[in-house]
Amino acid sequence: ETLRVLELVAVSHATAGADIVAPSGMIDGMVLSIRSALDTAGFEHTPIMSYSVKYASAYYGPFREAAGGSPTFGDRRTHQMDPSNAREALRESRLDVAEGADFLMVKPALPYLDVIRTIRLEFPELPMVAYNVSGEYSMVKAAHHMGWLDERTIVLENLTAIKRAGADLIITYHAL
The rounded radius of gyration (Å) of the Cα atoms in the chain is 17
**DSSP E strand stretches across the chain:** 49-54, 103-107, 128-132, 169-172
Q: How far is CA 125 from CA 17, 21, 78, 94, 119, in A?
A: 26, 19, 30, 13, 11
| Active-site residue, from 26, 54, 115, 116 | 54
| Active-site residue, from 107, 159, 166, 167 | 107
Question: Is 54 marked active-site?
Answer: yes
Backbone angles phi and psi of 167, in degrees to 5: -70, 130
Q: How far is CA 60 from CA 41, 78, 131, 137, in A?
A: 34, 16, 11, 10
**Catalytic residue positions, numbered:** 54, 107
